[in-house]
Amino acid sequence: MNSREKGKRGERQWRDELRANGYAARRGQQFSGSPDSPDVICDALPWLHCEVKCVERLNIEDAMEQARRDAGVKTPVVAHKRNHRRWLVTLDAETFFQLLRGTLPPEGTCVPATALRADGFPQTTTKKEQSNEDPS
Supply φ then ψ for residue 117, to 5 degrees.
-70, 175
Which run of H or of E encompasses 133?
none
Q: Is the sign of the CA dihedral 129, 132, 135, 136 positive or negative? A: negative
Bridge partners (DSSP) listed for residue 76 = 49
Topology of the domain comprising 3-116: Trna Endonuclease; Chain: A, domain 1 (3.40.1350)
pLDDT digits (tens, 9 = 90+) for 39-85: 999 989 999 999 999 999 999 999 999 999 999 999 999 999 999 99
**Sorting pLDDT into bands at 50, 70 and 90, what band is 121?**
low
Q: 7: buried, middle or exposed (CB in 10 Å: 19+, 13-18, 0-12)? A: middle
pTM higher than 0.85 for the full model? no
